[in-house]
Amino acid sequence: MPRPRTPGQRVQFLVSARSELDIPPTLARRLLELSEAARMHSADPSWLHRSRGLWLLDELGDDALCEHARLVAADEGEQLWRELLARSKPPDDVGPALLLAVSLDARCAADEAYDVLRPVVRPGECRRWAFDLAMDLTEDGGDPRLALDALDRLGVDRDRPRYSALHCLVHCAPHGDCPSMRLAGAARARWLWGRAKRWVRLPWADMQIGAEADHLLIAEGGALADVVREFAALRGPGPMSRGLFGYLRARWARLPSAERDLLLRWIRVRWRRFTVLDATPYELVLADEAGDRAVAAAAEETPADRTWASGDIVSGWLLPTAVPAEHFFVVNNTPAAWFR
């Protein structure tokens, strides 16, 4: 349990908030007080008397503070956020619910995080960080129609590029006119891929699973334990597999089993070289070194035919999709995006 900071540690907090995170001094001081409140409450729950509770709820009404408080919440304060949420009334419940959801998500309880956040994200209220996390967790439920319904309920502009894959999955017919839906399995895989990449960019995304967490995962057994055992023998996977593993572990409780299975397969795919046989805007036909043909959709949104031509040699990961004849191709320079 973290103890309240010494004066020297307080100064250190303010200095690193300024130099590493570029947080203005006034905001850094409020963040420090919030973190101290989490520590005081954790040491003694009676610390949170009524006026302190009101002060904290007032603080958490500010999205500028909440943006950075997400970093604090990933490490400490779960009980404080829970208590504040219990004492709050709308619209003051959004801030504590966001921080509680972050605490839960950071310890891989994504299903609870979703349950906490869902009721406090309401139409007409613009609380960016709560909304973004609520949508991430909704999409990770793996039902595109449900996720799009949630957007509509909240009155959000579904034409934002962030939701284009989701929009196509629900409204464009498989094998119809929409080029990104011509390969339905690959379109579905692109959505999952995009969500995993968004998770990696979260400030609390845990890409480096430590030895202690490894031991715990192995002790728990199951599919994640198998991956840990396997990669230990491989002297550590690459950044992309680490990102996919981190995402799978963090959101395991939310993800449908078909998506879990797909991610488990993706983690194990090895980098290979291919010859391009044909390239259209959203599709590549590839042959591997043994001459086996595979149809793949390019991983990113860039039209494949502007990047590659027949006869080119490409290297990367040919990921399976739920449709056996379709793949999702990730070029080998993409994993740079997985470094943080």
Q: How far is the CB of 332 from Zn ion (least distance, A)?
A: 27
Distance CA 72, CA 36 (A): 10
Q: Residue 26 — φ and ψ, nearest 5°? A: -65, -40
Q: To the nearest 10°, report the CA torsion of 230, 236, 239, 244.
A: 20
Distance CA 198, CA 162 (A): 10
Q: Which is nearer to Zn ion, 157 or 212 (CB)?
A: 157
Q: Which is nearer to Zn ion, 178 or 264 (CB)?
A: 178
Query: Do residues 224 and 252 lie in contact, with contact meaning Cβ atoms separated by under 8 Å?
Result: yes
Q: Which is nearer to Zn ion, 174 or 203 (CB)?
A: 174
Distance CA 310, CA 103 (A): 49
Q: How far is the CB of 225 from Zn ion (least distance, A)?
A: 39
221: alpha, beta or left, given left = phi > 0 and alpha = psi -120 to 50? left
Q: Which is nearer to Zn ion, 172 or 264 (CB)?
A: 172
What x-and-dash track marks residues 122-161 binding Zn ion by CB under 5 A?
----------------------------------------
What x-and-dash track marks residues 154-183 binding Zn ion by CB under 5 A?
--------------x---x-----x-----
Q: How far is the CB of 141 from Zn ion (least distance, A)?
A: 21
# residues near Zn ion by CB under 5 A? 3
3-state secondary structure of 204: coil
Q: Which is nearer to Zn ion, 59 or 139 (CB)?
A: 139
Q: Name the token pair of 332.
A: 């080998």
Residue 93 identity (one-letter amino acid): D
The answer to whether 322 contacts Zn ion (rule: CB under 5 A) is no
Q: What is the contact surface with Zn ion in residues (CB under 5 A)?
A: 168, 172, 178
